[in-house]
Amino acid sequence: MPGRSSFGSVEALPSGRYRARYATGVGSWKSAPTTFSTKTAARAWLARTQVSLEQVAAGSPKAVQASRPPRLRDYVAEWIAERRNGRGEPLRPSTRRTYESYLRLHLSPKRLGGMRLDEISPENVRAWHHELDSAHPTGRARVYAFLRTVLATAVSDDLIAANPCRIRGAGQARAVTPVEVLTPHQVADLAEAVGERYAAAIHLGAWCQMRVGEVLALRRRDVDLDTRIVHVRRGVTWIDGVAMFGPPKTDAGIRDIAMPDIVVEALQRHLIGVGGSGDALLFVGRTPGSPPPVQTFADAVKRAARRSGLPLTFRFHHLRHAGLSLLAEAGASVAELQARAGHSTPAMALHYQHARAIRDRDLAARLDVVIAGGAGQIKQ
């Protein structure tokens, strides 16, 4: 329950922190730019704000300046520190580092980062976005989406009236070149080229459409050959070379995936060399009990890709792309693709459905050629 005083209100949040806010009119409230670890700190902010507002009313220039919203860099730093995921948990170390790199590299105190929130206009954002490295469209889109999310929180905090990030489509990366969908034959060649140590990982990536962090986090207990199910319950990331296990980023990532014959057979062969404990990792690096570093694994897959004749641009996630594309061609619905891939929204599943439609039109065009050729032969 919120605790009210003669000025403002302090409310306990589900995260265990406290929000302070005060009324600015009938039914209108203004929140502190950050939450507080204690109720005392929240009440202290309200007391300082009340004094500041009284000074503003009296015309004090310093008070007027202090009452304004914080500078963008300061607000972003607080946002990162306070951010929680959908389960109310703090950010993962890898996610926090990514966000901190956005702040350090792209929100200079001399430019956009040094502006107060209420100074930032759509024109300012467009100029900032134009200066981002267009040679890396995915990174550019992620940085923009990050800023848009932060400023959406500022709107919710009543620090600004509207979000100045209004560039249509800027938060979505567009592929510079289309990714060629691997054939089942190419996947089989890659699994053979990579060798027994990682062959099962190749099949899991393609035919169970798993992410690399999900594959390398698998334990013996996560694979049930009798029911032909692989249970995705966690993933792995690396911080300063140390493997960090944790649940998927979203609840959608926690899923049970039915395995086709080729995956079951690959795992039957692979499990012969895996420890008998339920916690034994399926794929182990040089350090006992730890998965291979992601770069070590990626390098091994890349070398195998070269030997099997795949393009130089091939990456492990192209296996997932191939599997989902073939599922779409086989008639899987958007909901089925979304559930199998662990997508939190149908947007990516719709992408594969769209690819299927393009493929269908291409097949129809080829059929036209065959029909036209046959008709010509009949006329003769």
In what helix (H) or strand (E) does residue 267 lie, and over which residues does it extend?
Answer: helix 261-270
CA distance 355 to 280: 38
CA 227 to chain centre: 30
> How is residue 186 written in tokens?
């190419």
Amino acid at 351: H
Residues 236/350, Cβ–Cβ less than 8 Å? no
- Report the distance separating Cα 127 and Cα 120, nearest Å: 11
Residues 43, 211, 219, 321: which is the catalytic one?
Answer: 211
Place of tokens 């000025």: 7
320 catalytic per annotation: yes
Instruction: Name the helix (H) or strand (E) containing 335.
Output: helix 334-341
Residue in this structure with the two tokens 């009949």, named with its chain if needed: 378
203 neighbors 285 (Cβ within 8 angstroms): no
Active site residue 321: no
The answer to whether the beta carbons of residues 79 and 150 sit under 8 Å apart is yes
Does the annotation count 317 as an active-site position? yes
Question: Which residues make beta-bridge pairs with 235?
Answer: 246
Q: Find the catalytic residue in 317, 354, 361, 366.
A: 317
Tokens 């334990």, located at residue: 219
| Closest to 202 in 3D by CA, of 289, 296, 284, 322 | 322
For residue 346 the two structure tokens come to 């149908």
User: In whole angstroms, what is the distance from residue 202 CA to residue 132 CA?
Assistant: 35
- The CA distance from 236 to 220, in Å, is 16
Taking the C-alpha atoms of residue 283 and residue 341, their distance in angstroms, rounded to an integer, is 21
Q: CA-based Rg of the chain, rounded to a whole angstrom?
A: 27
What span, in angstroms and rounded, lies between the C-alpha atoms of 53 and 49? Answer: 6
Residues 21, 233, 318, 320: which is the catalytic one?
320
- Is residue 352 flagged as an active site residue? yes
User: Running DSSP on this structure, what letter comes out for residue 203?
Assistant: H
Task: Return the number of other C-beta atoms located less than 10 Å from residue 27's C-beta.
Answer: 6
SS3 percent helix, strand, coil of the chain, rounded to 5, is 50, 10, 35
Catalytic residue numbers read 211, 317, 320, 343, 352
